Amino acid sequence: MRLIPLSTAEQVGKWAARHIVNRINAFKPTADRPFVLGLPTGGTPLTAYKALVEMHKAGEVSFKHVVTFNMDEYVGLPKEHPESYHSFMHRNFFDHVDIPAENINLLNGNAPDIDAECRQYEEKIRSYGKIHLFMGGVGNDGHIAFNEPASSLASRTRIKTLTHDTRVANSRFFDGDVNQVPKYALTVGVGTLLDAEEVMILVLGHQKAQALAGGG
């Protein structure tokens, strides 16, 4: 494990974006051999997405042969809802780069068969061999995606009941009303993350730094 302390959220985002760009360009992806990238949502990666968009517009990277898998999605929230992770990703990243729509993989929290949705997501990840780089964030209590600290290291994509603390933390995106925050979410598992070739976790703020220190 490598720990890279930086002073500001902007510096963290720019470092992460530069690392992603370097990995993609070194890989030299093609249509038959795409670079597979795992992505998070929330406040933490926003500066990274902004920097990635800027690098793309500057001609430093193309996402034409990049395949993405997102970490999680709320259950029961329409994908057009402004706080769905589908909307978040398109608003903050996908709509501003040259990634083909068919290369974007997002969990469907409104699937008629949730278990089948989770199983098919894992199967699609496996069909690419592995995720080359998974960028993630961490919650105040140390959760990654919607995997709480006690989650099994072998866990796979599944439905999770969100803890009260997680719903309170996410209520800032729902006008401060915890009752508007969905109670369930689909999330990749810890095992899914650990199968990636590389995992890069972004940690911002003193509360999350304490969670990192507590897990170290």
pLDDT tens digits for range 88-118: 999 999 999 999 999 999 999 999 999 999 9
- pLDDT, tens only, 17-75: 999 999 999 999 999 999 999 999 988 899 999 999 999 999 999 999 999 999 999 99
Residue 125 lies in a domain: yes
What's the pLDDT score for residue 149? 77
Residue 147 lies in a domain: no
Q: Tell me the mean pLDDT in the region 152-178.
A: 93
Residue 199 lies in a domain: yes
Query: What per-residue string of b and e applies to 128-166 under the rule 16 or more CB within 10 Å gives b?
Result: eeebbbbbbbbbebbbbbbbbeebeeebbbbbbebeeeb
- Confidence bin at 142 (pLDDT 50/70/90): low
Copy the structure tokens of residue 90. 């398109």
Range of the domain at 198: 9-138+194-215
Residue 183 lies in a domain: no
Residue 165 lies in a domain: no
- Confidence bin at 140 (pLDDT 50/70/90): low
What's the pLDDT score for residue 208? 47
Q: Tell me the mean pLDDT in the region 136-149.
A: 77
Domain at 131, CATH number: 3.40.50.1360
Residue 190 has pLDDT above 50, yes or no: yes
Residue 161 lies in a domain: no
Copy the structure tokens of residue 119. 């199983």
| Least confident window among 37-51, 75-89, 113-127, 130-144 | 130-144
The percentage of residues in the chain with a pLDDT greater than 70, rounded to a whole number, is: 92
Residue 76 has pLDDT above 90, yes or no: yes
Distance between CA 186 and CA 190 in Å, rounded?
Answer: 13
Q: Which residues are catalytic?
A: 72, 141, 143, 148
Residue 3 has pLDDT above 90, yes or no: no
What's the pLDDT score for residue 9? 85
Distance between CA 78 and CA 57 in Å, rounded?
Answer: 31
Please, are residues 106 and 178 in contact by the beta-carbon 8 Å criterion? no
Residue 151 lies in a domain: no
How many domains does the chain fold into? 1
Residue 155 lies in a domain: no
Copy the structure tokens of residue 42. 């929330």
Distance between CA 139 and CA 146 in Å, rounded?
Answer: 9
